[in-house]
Amino acid sequence: MSVSPARRAAYEVLLRVFEQEAYADRAFRTAAEGLDERERAFAQRLAYGSVQRVRTLDYAIDTLGKRPVRKLDKPIRAALRLGAYQLGYTDTAPHAAVNESVELVRRAQLERAVPFTNAVMRRLADGIGPLLASLPDGPLKESYPDWIHETFVRVLGGDGALALMRAMNEPLETVVRLVSGEPPLGAEPTDVPGAFRVERVDNLAVADGRIWPQSRGSQLAALCLGAQDGERILDLCAAPGGKTGALRGDVTAVEIDPHRASELRANLATMGRGDVTVVEADGTALPPELNRFDRVLVDAPCSGLGVLSQRPDLRWRATPLAELQTALLRSAAERVRPGGTILYSVCTLNPDECEAVVDASGLRIEPLGDEWPQYTHPSRPEFLLTLPHVHGTSGFFVARLIAD
């Protein structure tokens, strides 16, 4: 029996993400090489959905398969997860999900495990629907680590946390930033200037430097810096460069990782921003000549709890980075001129990385809520907080600060 190219690709992604600690997007790019557009879309849905839902899938396999997932051989574990996802969350014909999962185990040269895999898959085919329906609302049913659910409850309460988790288990809107020329055909303007909602990203238009894929939340952060022509602007954590490319003025972009710095240069060139100076340096220990900037953008590394929809594996590896964020904000305050502006943004909703970092900085807050009332933070109106379940875009915290 054959295995469809899409299922084979998704299976490879599951193996690499959970057994080799690969990133899902990178693993998928390799696994999906050679697939046509339809197969690629199906493979991505299976791979990313299985990675997102793995906590719930493992619970179903443990319960119905009657053997702990953690004790299974790696190929069996990946095949069962892929099959369980198809049975629980897609309209795939049960016999196709069962038979191809069994075949994946056979092709892994685990013939001895074929009867077991077949038996578990048949139990899943009969029982996963009722089992999923019986789960109480919460992190097990929506497949999130408990600590992330608890963080969301702190910010939004129980109902809000549930709505947010559900929203980030589904694709959000697709938005591009207009770099030059006219908006793409059929593009819909949004409430963020220069941001257009599209059905899909035109890769040719990206390569030509006409548009750049970038969520409204991300574009909002760059806009709030307020960079102007003639000003000296510092972007402290610049790669991959979406925000950098949107900044006016004499821009210096800092990136610590050489590979990401190369990617940053390439992306800026694509966007026609050869005027940006890229410096490879640690944002917390900058060269002395980088000082007295008019404005500094600190789009800091973070746990990424606002972009879990776009990065299916991130929920399983996310880590709060408040100490690094505090150090970067302190560095920015040392390099901006007196009275200069610092824009602090993170693509997370974790208060420990958002409000707490700003409050600890001692910098003066310049309120943003009146400028962008639709994105006002629900409990701290001086800040902005974009919410996937409310606004349909990635989750970003944005604070504008003044160095006195």
pLDDT digits (tens, 9 = 90+) for 280-307: 999 999 999 999 999 999 999 999 999 9
- The verdict on 116 and 247 lying in the same domain is no
Q: What is the pLDDT of residue 2?
A: 81
Q: Is 347 considered catalytic here? A: yes
Give the tens place of pLDDT for each residue, 237-279.
999 999 999 999 999 999 999 999 999 999 999 999 999 999 9
- Residue 94: inside a domain: yes
Catalytic pick from 224, 302, 347, 354? Answer: 347
- Residue 57: inside a domain: yes
Query: The whole model's pTM is what?
Result: 0.94
State which of 76, 101, 135 marks the end of a domain: 135
- Residue 226: inside a domain: yes
Q: What is the pLDDT of residue 66?
A: 87
Domain hosting residue 255, numbered range: 215-402
Q: Which two tokens stand for residue 281?
A: 């340096």
- The verdict on 238 and 108 lying in the same domain is no
Q: For the chain, how many residues are written?
A: 404
CA triple 201-194-269, angle to 5 deg:
65
Q: What is the pLDDT of residue 1?
A: 65
- The verdict on 129 and 230 lying in the same domain is no
- Residue 18: inside a domain: yes
The DSSP secondary structure of 317-380, one letter per residue, reads T----HHHHHHHHHHHHHHEEEEEEEEEEES---TTTTHHHHHHH-PEEE--TTTSGGGB-SS-
- Residue 186: inside a domain: no
Residue 26, H or E segment: helix 24-31
Residue ranges in the chain modelled with pLDDT below 70: 1
- Residue 187: inside a domain: no
